Amino acid sequence: MSERLSKLLLGPLLLLQGLYTRRVTPRLPEASGARQGLAGNGARLRLLIVGDSAIAGVGAATQDEALSGQLVARLAEGFQVSWQLWAQTGLDSQGLLELLDSQDAQPFDVAVLGIGVNDVTSSLGADQWLIRQQRLLGVLKDKFAVQQLVISPLPPMHLFPALPQPLRWYLGNRARRFNQHLATLIAAQPSCSLLTLSLAPEAGMMAADGFHPGPVIYSLWAEHAARAITGQRHTDKNPGVEHV
């Protein structure tokens, strides 16, 4: 069933379920703790982590348990990591563009980007969303001189326990379609990689709200992101070596 037909047949129900879900879902705080710092020894790595509530660590008590802390800890094993976290609950792609616009220009070697869930839950079309992703990549490369971009896919929203059916099915289909468009975009972008991990929410791995990751998922996310970053940087130093 197409998205247009789904909205035509199920529109009133989807709207009511969306309003109900917003009302009953617990609003968890962003993870506490530092949002910038210096860690580790070795070659210098300037890291920027940007995105929405998941990037901000909602679902973890502290940034050490969230994506930023776990990613920095892994990278600090081989690099001196100078890092910053720019993330905020409620941001969609346009909101993130505005956040980046408000920041002073400064160079980063690597940026990890995670955005889109709030676009999926809105009425934004996939084509318009893709335009905003292109703009985000351009801003990160042009304004912040990012050399390597690591992009996180949208999570499997069709498995989110906080979402009732058929809203879960509908948003899951939108997320999958957005990811398909995103994969096509990233494949044509130099120095960009799309993480292929599936952050499927299993029992005990989600936050209490049934919508955000818990520390276990953040750990898996950080592991895959760190692998993508270190693998690319090793390849840059040894261009004749191929890494899988």
Q: For residues 183 and 194, is the Cβ–Cβ distance under 8 A?
A: yes
Going by C-beta distance under 8 Å and a sequence separation of 6 or more, which residues neighbour residue 139?
97, 100, 101
Higher per-residue pLDDT: 159 or 233: 159
Residue 6: per-residue pLDDT: 66
The single-letter code of the amino acid at 159 is L
Which of 118-122, 193-197, 210-214 tops mean pLDDT?
Answer: 118-122
Mean pLDDT along residues 136-159: 96
- Report whether 214 contacts 207 (CB < 8 A): yes
The pTM (predicted TM-score) of the whole model is 0.91
Contact 52, 207 (CB under 8 A): no
User: For the chain, which residues make up each domain, given as ranges?
Assistant: 54-237
Cα(135)–Cα(139) distance, rounded to whole angstroms?
6
Contacts of 29 (CB under 8 A, 6+ apart): 58
Match domain 54-237 to its CATH number in 3.40.50.300, 3.30.1490.190, 3.40.50.1110, 3.30.420.40: 3.40.50.1110
